[in-house]
Chain A
């Protein structure tokens, strides 16, 4: 359990309730208070991991570089870009990418990329090497594989912050068994530092923090 939040993520009061928040243009109808926008852990797996006190290793600050896989319409990656430096947002589907563009509009260091996270060579000419963090939330089959394929972008002391959706791997199996397989497969390229079920906010999801080995 950690009380260390990335610089730029703060606990803030919204309607008398304390919530995590970042500073930036609102993106998904979240409550705001001046410059601050609430980070909804029910809409964001990374938000849930932070709310649960996981030690993500994210530090925040203009120098921090992030590769975000599965950006969808930008809910989570917009918060990441609020606190980090250059942030590469990879999304596969054109329709959510339309909304991602809007979220990226007011964030000069958020770079949208329409690409398949299973094919890193299609964006390795754009995304720089030695990023400080990879945040992954692709909800597709082969989530460990995607993380392994993208390890080439990560700095030796960088962090993988991964949300695994059990149902994307196999709807018929026990989530616990799926999670174990994913953690196993990850050891091919990563050392798992911490993992935790996110069920309080996202049913049958596991949060994992790992570093390259």
Chain B
């Protein structure tokens, strides 16, 4: 048999008939450009004595592979996300606080001391670009950097896992915002049970969120005001945009919790709604600038 003969790309190639773990992995990880008459090839290759036995083995392998995948998806559950996104925010906040402390201290020994995590990166490590000549200050900078790096790794984890736990929510909001909503509600199920009016103001009283947001906007707004569709809307219409976003996110949370199916039409419906809302102020803005317009 040549290396690219079809039998060698079938899921059963290189499998002992009784290797059920290997079989499940072969189902999940294998690929082939084209299908072939697998039952016949498997019998020819001695993997099964006849088609019936082949199908029995296939049944066992596909069941095990699917069960594994389902369980893996369920382990990446909403509790994991809640912890990850809270820890991410804690790491970010702590890194920023310590960076402030570092800037104060370093200011007494380094005439060119900067601020923030960026400055910490410049002086952290043995072969840092700058040597402040003070071991404790350098060490503190290293803690700041590793906390900031941990926050970044957690963000990547949240971005990767949220679509499995809440595919529609993650598609409609960005995965991090979706995870924050789940976290603020205390889980996907409680979020799925909230009316959209509550979803709209989730995070409004949250001190951490106020901190992350800075002091720019009024605290009566929920975290969904960070959603692109709300931010990208003229301030006069932001309330309507926030209501539209909250309405769709509430539905997405319900679909994610109760069925888990992907419903791409939710995105299209939201996009359409936001476009309508924004077109109201496309004219409005023209009016505002109308006086000096040319």
Residues of B within 8 A of A125 (CB): 9-11, 26, 30-32, 38
The CB with the most chain B CB atoms within 10 A, among A104, A108, A114, A129, is that of: A114
Q: How far is the CA of A86 from the CA of B70 in the complex (A)?
A: 22
Q: Between A and B, how many residue pairs show CB distances below 8 Å?
A: 109
B261-273 vs A: 1/0 string, CB under 8 Å?
Answer: 1111100110010
Select one of A95, A121, A153 contacting B73, CB under 8 A.
A95
Given A94-B164, A124-B34, A171-B272, residue A114 in contact with residue B262 (CB < 8 A): no
Min Cβ gap B265→A in Å is: 5
CB of B260 within 8 Å of the partner chain = yes
Min Cβ gap B167→A in Å is: 7
Q: How many B residues face the partner with a CB closer than 8 A? A: 42
Q: Is the CB of B35 within 8 A of A124?
A: yes
CB of B109 within 8 Å of the partner chain = no
B164-206 vs A: 1/0 string, CB under 8 Å?
Answer: 1001000000000000000000000000000000000000000
Question: In this complex, what residue of A is CB-closest to B58?
Answer: A111
Q: How far is the CA of A143 from the CA of B37 in the complex (A)?
A: 26
Q: How far is the CA of A128 from the CA of B73 in the complex (A)?
A: 27
Given A96-B260, A122-B31, A125-B31, residue A168 in contact with residue B265 (CB < 8 A): yes
Residues of A within 8 A of B37 (CB): 128-130
Contact segment of B59-67, B100-108, B139-147, B238-246? B59-67
CB of A13 within 8 Å of the partner chain = no
Residues of A within 8 A of B34 (CB): 124, 129, 152
CB of A2 within 8 Å of the partner chain = no
Q: Is the CB of A128 within 8 A of B35?
A: yes
B44-87 vs A: 1/0 string, CB under 8 Å?
Answer: 00000000000110110011011101101110000000000000
Min Cβ gap A7→B in Å is: 20
Select one of A101, A111, A167 contacting B70, CB under 8 A.
A101
Given A96-B260, A128-B38, A129-B37, residue A114 in contact with residue B66 (CB < 8 A): yes
The CB with the most chain B CB atoms within 10 A, among A108, A110, A113, A125, is that of: A125
Q: How far is the CA of A111 from the CA of B65 in the complex (A)?
A: 10
Q: Is the CB of A93 within 8 A of B260?
A: yes
Residues of A within 8 A of B261 (CB): 72, 93, 95-96
Q: Is the CB of A94 within 8 A of B260?
A: yes
Q: Is the CB of A126 within 8 A of B264?
A: no
Residues of B within 8 A of A196 (CB): none
Q: Is the CB of B59 within 8 A of A111?
A: yes
A165-199 residues with Cβ-Cβ distance < 8 A to B are 167-168, 170-172
Residues of A within 8 A of B38 (CB): 125-128
Q: Is the CB of B33 within 8 A of A172?
A: no
Residues of B within 8 A of A95 (CB): 70, 73, 259-261
Q: How far is the CA of A129 from the CA of B38 in the complex (A)?
A: 8
Min Cβ gap A69→B in Å is: 14
Residues of A within 8 A of B167 (CB): 93
Min Cβ gap B59→A in Å is: 6
Question: In this complex, what residue of B is CB-closest to A98?
Answer: B70
CB of B251 within 8 Å of the partner chain = no
Residues of A within 8 A of B264 (CB): 140-141, 168
Min Cβ gap A173→B in Å is: 10
Select one of B11, B30, B259, B265 contacting A171, CB under 8 A.
B265
Q: How far is the CA of A97 from the CA of B69 in the complex (A)?
A: 9
Min Cβ gap A97→B in Å is: 5
Residues of B within 8 A of A141 (CB): 264
Residues of A within 8 A of B74 (CB): 94, 98
Select one of A93, A100, A104, A167 contacting B265, CB under 8 A.
A167
CB of B27 within 8 Å of the partner chain = yes
A122-158 residues with Cβ-Cβ distance < 8 A to B are 122, 124-130, 139-141, 152-153
CB of A112 within 8 Å of the partner chain = yes
CB of A12 within 8 Å of the partner chain = no
A69-99 vs B: 1/0 string, CB under 8 Å?
Answer: 0001100000000000010000011111110
Which B residues fall within an 8 A CB radius of A?
9-11, 26-28, 30-39, 55-56, 58-59, 62-63, 65-67, 69-70, 72-74, 164, 167, 259-265, 268-269, 272
Which A residues fall within an 8 A CB radius of B?
72-73, 86, 92-98, 100-101, 104, 108-114, 121-122, 124-130, 139-141, 152-153, 167-168, 170-172
Given A73-B259, A121-B33, A126-B38, 4 further pairs, Cβ under 8 A: A94-B69, A114-B70, A152-B35, A171-B272
16 A–B contacts, CB within 8 A, in A order: A93-B262, A94-B69, A94-B260, A95-B260, A96-B259, A98-B74, A100-B66, A113-B62, A122-B31, A124-B34, A126-B62, A127-B35, A128-B39, A129-B34, A141-B264, A152-B35
